């Protein structure tokens, strides 16, 4: 079932999760153990992130050696494994950065054959190296380009325009939104314009970047509605569990951590940080649910402990 159908048919707000693929060589049972912990909360869909190749430098007797490899492969395989083992719809992430349009088309064809109906189209993290594009091939630069490619395939339009009787795909296309604006956008109004372009091109719902101040989400939704964006906007949430995240999260995700939360975490003992994070997220959830959000989406990566503590706190 498509994400939009889950949202339309829901009798109460939904709870969904986003996980990471395992590192290369990882045991799939580690992932299944996490999923065994969270399926009790009846997620209608689970997102699986995607990761392009990274640069790694190894010191060898002959000097520093540069390697380019994908640290976390397996997005397609994990998405299908979850769907088959748990009968839960999955949303694999499709990236611009690190992949050619031809590679993207191949991945989408595979997902279509495997019965995956949902994808999230994102540009992806900035690459540490520029992947050479082979002659005769091309790449999507922005998420808008990627949405257009997927929407074209939904209309039966492939990269090889001379394909006869090409079968259209039927993907529900999700896109990302940034309540505190994308870090490269000059201002929030311009960023909302970019979001609207993705929706007009074929995006059917929005999942927000994590935020720790609900006002950012509510203001983002209002700005979107004012610009004629009427698709569901799902709030993305992250439970703070480590002091190091006070630095890492703003640095990597360009989001603000409120003074009250940051001060409490800095003054706490390390073993108490997760309890503080759970309580903060619980209050966020309660306000969001009271304001009628369609769903709560949690970035849990490969750690089910924080979400288990949160669900107990919320009595879910």
Cα separation, 155 vs 46, whole angstroms: 26
* pLDDT mean over 287-313: 96
Tokens of residue 206, six digits:
């929005």
Task: Tell me the per-residue pLDDT of 114-123, one tens digit each, with 9 for 90 and over.
Answer: 999 999 999 9
| Cα 52 to Cα 70: distance, rounded to the nearest angstrom | 6
Dihedral of CA atoms 1, 123, 145, 53 in degrees, nearest 10, equals -100
User: Any residues with CB less than 8 A from the CB of 231 and at least 6 apart, and which?
Assistant: 4, 199, 203, 204, 205, 206
Task: Give CA separation, 65 vs 55, 60, 68, 213, in Å.
Answer: 10, 7, 10, 44
Q: How far apart are CA 143 and CA 277, in angstroms?
A: 31
Q: What is the DSSP letter of 183?
A: T
Tokens 């108490």 belong to which residue?
A: 272
Could you tell me if residue 161 is left (phi over 0), alpha (psi between -120 and 50 degrees) or otherwise beta? alpha
Q: Nearest 5°: CA angle at 283, between 281 and 284?
A: 60
Element at 298 (helix H, strand E)? strand 295-301
pLDDT at 65: 56
For the residues of 80-121, what is the DSSP string, one character each? HHHHHHH--EEEEEEESTT-BHHHHHHHHHHHHHTT--EEEE
Number of domains in the chain: 1
pTM across the whole model: 0.92
CATH code, domain with 227: 3.20.20.220
Q: Mapping DSSP to helix (H, G, I), strand (E, B) and coil, where does residue 145 land?
A: helix
Print the domain residue range for 83: 3-313
Angle, CA of 128, 182 and 93, to the nearest 5°: 65
pLDDT for 67-99, tens place per residue? Answer: 556 778 899 999 999 999 999 999 999 999 889
Does the pLDDT value for residue 134 go beyond 60? yes
- Residues in a beta bridge with 100: 139
pLDDT band at 56 (very low <50, low <70, confident <90, very high): low
């Amino acid at each position: 079932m498509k994400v939009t159908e889950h949202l339309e048919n829901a009798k109460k707000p939904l709870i969904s999760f986003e996980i990471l693929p395992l590192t290369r060589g990882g045991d799939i049972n580690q992932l299944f153990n996490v999923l065994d912990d969270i399926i009790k909360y009846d997620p209608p869909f689970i997102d699986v992130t995607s990761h392009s190749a990274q640069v790694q430098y190894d010191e060898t007797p002959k000097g520093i050696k540069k390697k380019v490899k994908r640290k976390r492969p397996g997005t397609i395989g994990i998405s299908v494994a979850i769907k088959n083992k748990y009968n839960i719809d999955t949303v694999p992430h499709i990236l611009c950065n690190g992949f050619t349009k031809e590679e993207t088309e191949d991945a989408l064809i595979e997902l279509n054959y495997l019965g995956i109906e949902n994808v999230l189209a994102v540009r992806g993290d900035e690459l540490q190296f520029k992947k050479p594009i082979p002659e005769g091939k091309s790449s999507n630069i922005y998420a808008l380009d990627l949405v257009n490619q997927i929407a074209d395939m939904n209309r039966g339009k492939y990269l090889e325009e001379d394909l006869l009787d090409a079968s259209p795909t039927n993907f529900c296309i999700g896109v990302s939104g940034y309540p505190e604006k994308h870090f490269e956008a000059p201002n929030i109004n311009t960023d909302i314009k970019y979001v609207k372009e993705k929706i007009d091109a074929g995006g059917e719902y929005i999942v927000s970047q994590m935020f720790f101040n609900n006002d950012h989400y509510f203001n983002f939704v209002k700005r979107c509605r004012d610009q004629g964006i009427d698709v569901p906007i799902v709030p993305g949430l992250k439970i703070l569990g480590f002091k190091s995240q006070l630095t890492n999260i703003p640095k990597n995700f360009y989001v603000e951590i409120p003074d009250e939360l940051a001060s409490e975490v800095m003054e706490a003992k390390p073993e108490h940080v997760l309890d503080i994070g759970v309580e903060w997220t619980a209050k966020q959830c309660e306000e969001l649910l009271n304001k009628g959000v369609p769903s709560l989406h949690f970035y849990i990566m490969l750690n089910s402990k924080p979400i288990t503590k949160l669900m107990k706190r919320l009595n879910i």
